Amino acid sequence: MAASLNPVEAAFGNAMRDFKAELKDDDVYNQLSQITTIDQVYDATDEIQKKQAKEGHLRHLSKISPYLDRLEEYAATIEVFLQAKPDILALIWGPIKLLLQWTSVIRASFDAIVDIMAEIGELLPEFKRVISLFDQTVTLQEVMALFFRDILDFYLVALKFFKLSRELFPAVISVLYH
């Protein structure tokens, strides 16, 4: 008999399954699954900023620090009760790296995603404080699963939008200049 998942693990699993089904792009999902740490995101932001500095249009990536900080606290919190599942962590960190890379070629797109992440970062709770107040109760774990689903919903909308933009941009340029 197979071991059954507890309700919280099932909620995280369902959110991941729904995200993958809605994304409808196995290649993008596979790219996301390769990014399992915040360090990989920081490496990408460093690389993007070096490139932007060379091109003379450095953007303010420090604006997303609150977002990254809060997600890092969130990841540390869920790692405790999910035993550090890399597939879940990949869906927290992977979309950030991919979105920043995709949008870095067009300033307005890059600024838009950075601004959105900055705004969300200001709204996310300080997970360390929440945990210290409420401990690791099942109710808190269920709330963390709801946050996970909300985070994935944001990523899904952003990934679909910017993927479409990336696909349409060359076609539009081709029509305009040929």
Give the residue among 17, 148, 144 at the shortest CA–CA distance from 92: 148
Residue 168 near residue 106, CB atoms below 8 Å = no
pLDDT 10s digits, 2-43: 556 788 889 999 999 999 999 999 999 999 999 999 999 999
> Which residues touch 42 (CB under 8 Å, ≥6 apart)?
68
Question: What's the CA gap between 168 and 174, in Å, rounded?
Answer: 10
Q: Is the pLDDT of residue 169 over 80?
A: no
Q: Is the pLDDT of residue 175 over 70?
A: no
- Of residues 76 and 84, more confidence is placed in 76
The mean pLDDT value for 67-79 works out to 92
Question: What's the CA gap between 88 and 10, in Å, rounded?
Answer: 12
Question: What's the CA gap between 81 and 44, in Å, rounded?
Answer: 28
Residue 15, classified by CB atoms within 10 Å of its CB into exposed (0-12), middle (13-18) or buried (19+), is buried
Average confidence score pLDDT of the chain: 86
